[in-house]
């Protein structure tokens, strides 16, 4: 049997094991900050497969599978944690129930499906006795879902010196090969007015009205566009101001997010807001406002000529599927892998981002099968 047929046949033989693995992972709740039970489960699972494993000081799980020859390290990254369950579920969010082509539960799409497909892909290569160079590294960090870069497991591991030669960030990309992800920023804007009795508003300066003018100006900023991710976005998300309706409010705060495309930075956005302030102050000398960046993560991008890109393209050619090069509007750990670790990183995984973080999250098992095949073929293409 030809090598590629051998790989595909082996992944198919492992279908039931893969579905059970993902279902078992969904049954282990792992909301951010509580990933330990899942890390311990994976540690046992991968140790039994003969992989060498490690849980680092942050709680991140790693497994390593060495080839027979020296070579590059290919990292498969996904994440242990899920967002909280939230309301609106029709059944147990940790059931891991399988119903036709659907596997239900929190974390099925985001991102335990990718973990299952990656482990089974590596296991299938080993079981098929195939010779590859270098090393496959499975990296499943904690706290990918928290909005705080300094707690994110991938970032912390890279800061500790973890590295590799290329990576696949297994996020729920609808099986699209994505060469870029968007970054996410959050700014806090505060307008300062002057309080007065609401019956004599001319005696004060209304901070909410000032913020309305700021928002009107924010709407005029045209977000950047990238050929993979499409357009970035600006979203005024939380606004607060005033204490009672009969009083002129003296402060108003706005939290506004911005989704950035490759080439855009937080500094750019803050400068654009400061220009808005200057314009509004030129119009009205009493205008007073400040801006502070409260969260900053960056977009990722990988060059089309990188080995990891051609490897995953070749994997698609082998299964006879088109491989348009796309991008994702989500922010993912590809940011840290490429910007902190300087590791060329492609995003690719089963599941749809539309179901992530929502009630009644599910994963299509047919997508899981395809992802495992693509991951396994990519290993052999990248680590020839």
- Summarize as ranges the residues that interact with Zn ion (CB under 5 A): 110-111, 171
Give me 139's structure tokens. Answer: 């990296």
Distance set, CA 170 to CA 60, 77, 95, 305 (Å): 16, 6, 23, 20
Q: Which is nearer to Zn ion, 80 or 234 (CB)?
A: 80
Q: Which is nearer to Zn ion, 96 or 141 (CB)?
A: 141
Query: Taking the CB of residue 89, how many other CB atoms lie within 10 A of it?
Result: 17
Distance set, CA 308 to CA 22, 168, 169, 227, 240 (Å): 25, 8, 11, 19, 46
Q: Which is nearer to Zn ion, 191 or 352 (CB)?
A: 352
183 touches 192 (CB < 8 A): no
CB of 104 to Zn ion, least distance (A): 17
Distance between CA atoms of residues 172 and 30, nearest Å:
17
262 touches 299 (CB < 8 A): yes
What residues contact residue 358 under an 8 Å CB cut-off, 6+ apart?
none
Q: Could you give the angle at which helices 266-283 and 207-218 cross, rounded to 10 degrees?
A: 130
Q: Which residue has the tokens 């409010």?
A: 249
Distance set, CA 283 to CA 220, 251, 276 (Å): 17, 19, 11
Distance between CA atoms of residues 79 and 348, nearest Å:
13
CB of 207 to Zn ion, least distance (A): 38
CB of 271 to Zn ion, least distance (A): 31
CB of 84 to Zn ion, least distance (A): 14
**Residue facing Zn ion at closest CB distance:** 111
Q: Which is nearer to Zn ion, 59 or 249 (CB)?
A: 59
CB of 361 to Zn ion, least distance (A): 11
374 touches 313 (CB < 8 A): no
Q: Where are the beta strands (DSSP E) in 215-367?
A: 225-226, 230-231, 233-241, 247-248, 251-260, 289-296, 300-301, 325-328, 345-347, 362-364
CB of 328 to Zn ion, least distance (A): 10
Q: Which is nearer to Zn ion, 110 or 250 (CB)?
A: 110
CB of 341 to Zn ion, least distance (A): 18
Q: Which is nearer to Zn ion, 4 or 257 (CB)?
A: 257
CB of 146 to Zn ion, least distance (A): 12
How do 98-99 and 69-77 pair as beta strands?
A: unpaired
CB of 214 to Zn ion, least distance (A): 33
CB of 110 to Zn ion, least distance (A): 4
Distance between CA atoms of residues 29 and 105, nearest Å:
10
Q: Which is nearer to Zn ion, 111 or 346 (CB)?
A: 111
Q: Which is nearer to Zn ion, 110 or 264 (CB)?
A: 110
Q: Which is nearer to Zn ion, 273 or 363 (CB)?
A: 363
Q: Which is nearer to Zn ion, 67 or 349 (CB)?
A: 349
Distance set, CA 60 to CA 94, 135, 222 (Å): 22, 18, 39
């Amino acid at each position: 049997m030809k090598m590629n047929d051998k790989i595909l046949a082996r992944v198919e033989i492992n279908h039931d094991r893969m579905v059970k693995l993902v279902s078992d992972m969904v049954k282990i709740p792992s909301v951010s900050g509580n990933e330990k039970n899942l890390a311990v489960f994976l540690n046992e699972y991968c140790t039994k497969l003969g992989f060498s494993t490690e849980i680092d000081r942050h709680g991140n799980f790693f497994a390593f599978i060495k080839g027979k020859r020296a070579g590059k390290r290919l990292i498969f990254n996904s994440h242990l944690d899920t967002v909280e369950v939230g309301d609106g579920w029709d059944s147990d969010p940790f059931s891991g129930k399988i119903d036709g082509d659907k596997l239900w539960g929190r974390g099925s799409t985001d991102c335990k499906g990718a973990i299952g497909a990656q482990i089974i892909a590596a296991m299938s290569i080993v079981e098929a006795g195939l010779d590859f160079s270098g090393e496959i590294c499975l990296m499943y960090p904690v706290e990918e879902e928290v909005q705080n870069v300094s707690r994110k497991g991938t970032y912390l591991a890279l800061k500790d010196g973890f590295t590799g030669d290329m990576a696949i960030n297994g996020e729920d990309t609808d099986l699209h090969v994505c060469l870029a992800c968007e970054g996410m920023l959050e700014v806090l804007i505060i307008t300062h007015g002057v309080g007065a009795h609401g019956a004599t508003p001319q005696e004060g300066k209304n901070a909410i009205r000032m913020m309305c003018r700021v928002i009107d100006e924010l709407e005029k900023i045209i977000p950047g566009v990238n050929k993979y991710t499409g357009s970035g976005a600006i979203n005024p998300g939380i606004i607060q101001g005033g204490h009672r309706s009969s009083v002129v409010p003296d402060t108003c705060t706005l939290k506004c997010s911005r989704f950035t495309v490759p080439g855009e930075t937080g500094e750019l956005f803050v400068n654009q807001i400061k220009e808005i302030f200057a314009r509004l102050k030129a119009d009205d000398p009493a205008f007073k406002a400040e801006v502070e960046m409260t969260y900053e993560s960056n977009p990722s991008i990988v060059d089309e000529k990188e080995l990891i890109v051609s490897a995953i393209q070749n994997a698609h050619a082998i299964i006879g599927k088109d491989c348009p090069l796309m991008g994702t509007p989500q922010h993912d750990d590809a940011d840290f892998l490429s910007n902190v670790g300087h590791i060329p990183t492609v995003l690719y995984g089963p599941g749809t981002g539309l179901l992530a973080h929502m009630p009644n999250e599910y994963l299509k098992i047919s997508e899981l099968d395809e992802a495992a095949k693509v991951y396994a073929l990519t290993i052999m293409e990248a680590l020839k």
